Amino acid sequence: MEADFVIIGAGSAGCTLAYRLAESGASVVVIEHGGSDAGPFIQMPAALSYPMNMARYDWGYRSEPEPHLNNRRLACPRGKVIGGSSSINGMVYVRGHAMDFDHWAEQGASGWGYADVLPYFKRMENWHANGHGGDPDWRGRDGPLHVTRGPRSNPLFDAFVQAGQQAGYQATDDYNGAKQEGFGPMDQTVWRGRRWSAANAYLRPALRRDTCKVIRALACRVVIDQGRATGVEIRRGGKVQTVRARREVVLAASSINSPKLLMMSGIGPARHLSEHGIQVIADRPGVGQNLQDHLELYIQMAASQPITLYRHWNLVGKALIGAQWLFLRRGLGASNQFESAAFIRSRAGVPYPDIQYHFLPMAVRYDGQAAAEGHGFQAHVGPMRSPSRGSVTLRSPDPVAAPVIRFNYMSTEQDWHDFRNCIRLTREIFAQPAFAAFVRHEIQPGAGVQSDAELDAFVAEHAESAYHPCGTCRMGRPDDPGAVVDPRGRVIGVRALRVADSSIFPRITNGNLNAPSIMVGEKVADHLLGRDPLPPSNDQPWLHPDWQTAQR
């Protein structure tokens, strides 16, 4: 019950920290409330819709009624399992755009510009092109995290990329390389047919060392003695105990649970803490604020040929896919089926992409419900940099109580304009010759939904979270009153306490958040160990030469 470092959360960043700290010879205890990630529901990539809808693996959080989305309460899955959200996510691997990280540095996160973080992305990766091209000079080859590409054998994957080019957009052979902008293959954290979560990549190797162990318990609060974090109070087996930290405590509990734990520990907006009877140790008004997410729509088309995944969407088909995966780790079960992607700019004057596409050769929701039309395909599309901001606050001082999550989605006029634009640009792509042989009609929104008011009504009823919450413990300058941690991840106003997960992002990055969350774990590990950061990179990313005057 004592170690050099105590980490709360065995998720993307927590597993990474455990690996790097244990590798240095330090002793590490990781506190995780969830249980084992063993079994096909998590380890089979194609089964991704199951774990994020299972109470066994998910905290089950939902937003408060969203006033701009017909007062719907949106799901906010967070992994409650070894591997955290990397064990229940869609396994899509996106670093983010270079300008995302340069913006972080401009906002006070010095040392987190793209030149600074690219070496950490390379250190964590073990990238495999699998004969599908790529940008090898920009990728890592020796890291713990295997990154691969699906076989892209369904002709719809190629049709999506061709249609983008026919519409006048760029192609990119590697959106994680020099050129994010364009249409091309999608990277996935899958290795030898298995989900390659942070648990498989980092935690299991760390646990082979005698100096690293996992405690299954609910973290209740950080113990702070005279301004210094000295341990973590946990609840397990009906007993309250303390795990002592000789050097530091690190919160890596997610952008929902990390701010909750800070507030439970007396660090946060003083008035809000006092309302809940919590003694204020550090008045940090930014704790729980700055909540951001990606919202998305599924633009679905009915297929004129029976070539989509729907032909396997029955008990026999699923059983055959499952058996092939179980015995051979091959076949459709060995891919997340997100094998083509795109990043585009919404208009001239936008310097780098602000719209992302995931393409899927089936019309289906994240909860596994197939479209009534049967054979179909869809593009998940949404804006990357919404100006809307929300919050995470305490519902109760009881550690078991779920926090209050208010995303405040679609709260600005820009959000509505951006979504209308997303729908119209997507329709244009599906209308290209590459899809002529495959499209029967538009399932949703439906050809009759055309005016701004009709599109807005569709967005209000059908927009869903892409499950990328972040920003609630924002990183910034120590003198910034809204910042929660400094550029080394240290909680401002408390010694020996850090945060290392997606909650420290000053602004959301382009794309899915698993890769930058792992990168945060890699970089903060060096800060914890007092090591010099990796030397910055001189690589220059590609920007569209006509971005000021052309949308594509």
Q: What distance in Å separates the CA atoms of residue 384 and residue 506, rounded to the nearest whole number? A: 14
Instruction: Write down the pLDDT at residue 316.
Output: 94
Which residues belong to CATH 3.50.50.60 in the chain?
1-146+190-288+470-529
Instruction: Write down the pLDDT at residue 164.
Output: 98
Which residues belong to CATH 3.30.410.40 in the chain?
151-185+295-383+411-462
pLDDT per residue as tens digits for the range 450-487: 999 999 999 999 999 999 999 999 999 999 999 999 99
pLDDT per residue as tens digits for the range 16-45: 999 999 999 999 999 999 999 999 999 999
Q: Which amino acid is at 439?
A: V
Instruction: Write down the pLDDT at residue 365.
Output: 79
Q: How confident is the model at residue 56 (pLDDT cuts 50, 70, 90)?
A: very high
Question: pLDDT at residue 220 above 80?
Answer: yes
Instruction: Write down the pLDDT at residue 373.
Output: 85
DSSP-derived 3-state class of residue 82: coil
Contact 454, 460 (CB under 8 A): no
Instruction: Write down the pLDDT at residue 204.
Output: 98
Q: What distance in Å separates the CA atoms of residue 517 and residue 512, rounded to the nearest whole number? A: 10
Exactly one of 33, 294, 358, 468 is catalytic; name it.
468
Q: What distance in Å separates the CA atoms of residue 84 and residue 20, rounded to the nearest whole number? A: 18
Instruction: Write down the pLDDT at residue 5.
Output: 99
Indicate the average pLDDT of the chain. Answer: 97
Question: pLDDT at residue 131 above 90?
Answer: no
Q: Specify whether 468 is catalytic.
A: yes
Whether domain 1-146+190-288+470-529 has CATH 3.40.50.620: the reply is no
Give the list of residues 6+ apart from residue 173 with CB closer than 8 angstroms, or none.
Answer: 133, 134, 135, 179, 184, 185
Q: What distance in Å separates the CA atoms of residue 256 and residue 100, rounded to the nearest whole number? A: 22
With vertex at residue 200, the alpha carbon angle to CA 197 and CA 202, rounded to the nearest 5 degrees, is 95
Q: What distance in Å separates the CA atoms of residue 259 and residue 473, rounded to the nearest whole number? A: 6
DSSP-derived 3-state class of residue 189: coil
pLDDT per residue as tens digits for the range 537-551: 999 999 999 999 999
Give the list of residues 6+ apart from residue 44 with CB closer than 8 angstroms, or none.
Answer: 194, 195, 322, 325, 333, 334
DSSP state of 379: E
Nearest Cα to Cα of residue 180 among 121, 238, 130, 123: 121
Q: What distance in Å separates the CA atoms of residue 501 and residue 78, rounded to the nearest whole number? A: 13
pLDDT per residue as tens digits for the range 350-406: 999 999 999 999 998 777 777 778 999 999 999 999 999 999 999 999 999 999 999
Q: What distance in Å separates the CA atoms of residue 212 and residue 156, rounded to the nearest whole number? A: 46
Instruction: Write down the pLDDT at residue 376.
Output: 97
Instruction: Write down the pLDDT at residue 161.
Output: 98
Instruction: Write down the pLDDT at residue 129.
Output: 80
Cis status of the peptide bond prior to 445, with omega within 30 of 0: yes
Q: Which amino acid is at 504?
A: I
pLDDT per residue as tens digits for the range 294-306: 999 999 999 999 9
Q: What distance in Å separates the CA atoms of residue 196 and residue 202, rounded to the nearest whole number? A: 10
Pick the CATH number of 151-185+295-383+411-462 from 3.40.47.10, 1.10.260.40, 3.30.410.40, 1.20.1420.30: 3.30.410.40
pLDDT per residue as tens digits for the range 316-329: 999 999 999 999 99
Percent share of the chain, pLDDT over 70? 100
User: For the chain, percent helix, then strand, then coil, each to nearest 5?
Assistant: 30, 25, 45
DSSP state of 311: G
pLDDT per residue as tens digits for the range 509-526: 999 999 999 999 999 999
Mean pLDDT score, 112-133: 92
Instruction: Write down the pLDDT at residue 133.
Output: 76
Mean pLDDT score, 67-85: 98
